[in-house]
Structure 1
Amino acid sequence: MNTIIDNVDQRIGARIRAEREGRGWSLTSLAEKSGVSRAMVHKVERGESSPTASLLAKLAGAFGMSMSALLALAELEDGRLLRRAEQPLWVDPQSGYVRRHVSPKSASPLNLVEIDLPPSTEIPMPASAYLHSQQLIWVLDGELVFIEGGERHQLGAGDCLELGPPSDCVFKNESSRACKYAVVLVRSA
């Protein structure tokens, strides 16, 4: 995993601060809109805390974007080719979830992300993370349980699920081996 950028927390924090300031929001305003404490937002913006996937999803949702879009803005430079060795990795410090941004940053409304979800891991995502996009989950290896609102989807290798209307979701690996899946995200115009 030599492509993990040493200053990824600073880059994510700077992007969150830029999004907040670009909207003319105070720290308090972002905290209220996202449900993340003001103190935690401040720590993340300064790069003093490595945010979890759930926290990033809440902040991104407050900005009206997906976690993938927020991270792409922090991680990627413009271009049509993104070689594997240059694809940014981000590791959730709480769960060990590994996110690889596969698609290049371009004018395309498509984002492609590969996720490695460790065994016995659960990642909740708020509905706000899905408001302005259409998403597909494609299981590449292992088993994934995806809970969408009150509906439970059991997915195996090769299965692909289109997400329904935005609702709180949970990605779960209930098995004893890692699960690898891709998230294909199409941003709304």
Structure 2
Amino acid sequence: MGKTEVEPVEARLAERLAHLRAEHGWSLEELAARTGVSRSTLSRLERAEISPTAAMLGRLCSAYGRTMSQLLAEVEAEPPQLVPADRQTVWRDETSGFTRRSVSPPHPGLRGEVVEGVLRPGADISYDEPPVPALEQHIWVLDGVLEVTTGGAAHRIGTGDCLRFRLWGRSRFHNPGPGPVRYALLIVLP
């Protein structure tokens, strides 16, 4: 994707990622060592030449100690109190088959947020670590079936079911199919 084709949110995200690295005083090499993402990929992300995958963005959020919603809220101009559905930030990771809608009005200082996630059939996303240790999550499946692994335990969550847990280590989200799964995710900071 060329510079002229970059979505506004992706351009602001790229700029924010570059500023965060500068704020921490890290070189691309140091950030690569902290995240496991190559130096060249990080450079291309910061120049908005590529969009991050969900797993990659998760690694960056972990390095910077932010949730994904906090990071995305930081690229908003002025956080509103009400966000109509058609103006909620939607981020897509076409590679992994994940669509993430920030339902809560963004604000970096809030301790809770609501996110809508959609995974296409067969989608499988793993996160090495939470962006913030002891992050509390509630996953309420609205349509379909979602398999979530956290703390070494696998959970199969069907339509209407809700799973609550604190996230300390690796996690995995998988849609066994046959259709897409749509879920609400409530995130509460410790």
Query: Shared topology, TM-score over 0.5?
Result: yes
Classify 1:149/1:47 alpha carbon distance in 2 versus 1 (closer, same or farther; 3 Å): same
Q: How many pairs are equivalent? A: 184
User: What is aligned with 1:114?
Assistant: 116
Deviates more, 1:77-86 or 1:170-179: 77-86
8 Å CA contact 1:79–1:104 kept in 2: the answer is yes
- CA RMSD after TM alignment: 1.7
User: What is aligned with 2:147?
Assistant: 145
User: What is aligned with 2:183?
Assistant: 181
User: What is aligned with 2:81?
Assistant: 80
Percentage of pairs with the same residue: 38
User: What is aligned with 1:125?
Assistant: 127
Q: State the alpha-carbon separation in 1 of the partners of residues 147 and 132 from structure 2.
A: 18
Amino acid across the alignment from 2:113: N
8 Å CA contact 2:73–2:79 kept in 1: the answer is no
Amino acid across the alignment from 1:141: D
8 Å CA contact 2:70–2:106 kept in 1: the answer is no
Amino acid across the alignment from 1:146: V
User: What is aligned with 2:65?
Assistant: 64
User: What is aligned with 1:25?
Assistant: 26
Amino acid across the alignment from 1:12: L
TM-score, normalised to structure 1's length? Answer: 0.90
How far does residue 100 in structure 1 lie from its aligned partner after superposition? 0.6
Q: State the alpha-carbon separation in 1 of the partners of residues 146 and 113 from structure 2.
A: 20
For 1:130-178, what per-residue CA distance to the aligned partner results, in whole angstroms no more than 9, with x for missing partners?
A: 4263221111111000011421000011111122341111100002111
In structure 1, the gaps of 5 or more residues are none
8 Å CA contact 1:61–1:67 kept in 2: the answer is no
In structure 2, the gaps of 5 or more residues are 1-5
User: What is aligned with 2:41?
Assistant: 40
Amino acid across the alignment from 1:88: T
TM-score, normalised to structure 2's length? Answer: 0.89
8 Å CA contact 2:134–2:167 kept in 1: the answer is no
Partner secondary structure for residue 182 of structure 1: strand
User: What is aligned with 2:9?
Assistant: 8
How far does residue 187 in structure 1 lie from its aligned partner after superposition? 2.1
Amino acid across the alignment from 1:147: T
Amino acid across the alignment from 2:141: V
User: What is aligned with 2:103?
Assistant: 102
Classify 1:133/1:165 alpha carbon distance in 2 versus 1 (closer, same or farther; 3 Å): closer
Amino acid across the alignment from 1:6: E
Q: State the alpha-carbon separation in 1 of the partners of residues 77 and 97 from structure 2.
A: 22
Amino acid across the alignment from 1:182: A
Q: State the alpha-carbon separation in 2 of the partners of residues 73 and 138 from structure 1.
A: 26
8 Å CA contact 1:50–1:93 kept in 2: the answer is no
Q: Does structure 1 residue 162 correspond to structure 2 residue 171?
A: no
Q: State the alpha-carbon separation in 2 of the partners of residues 108 and 165 from structure 1.
A: 18
Amino acid across the alignment from 2:106: K
Classify 1:104/1:38 alpha carbon distance in 2 versus 1 (closer, same or farther; 3 Å): same
How far does residue 34 in structure 1 lie from its aligned partner after superposition? 1.1
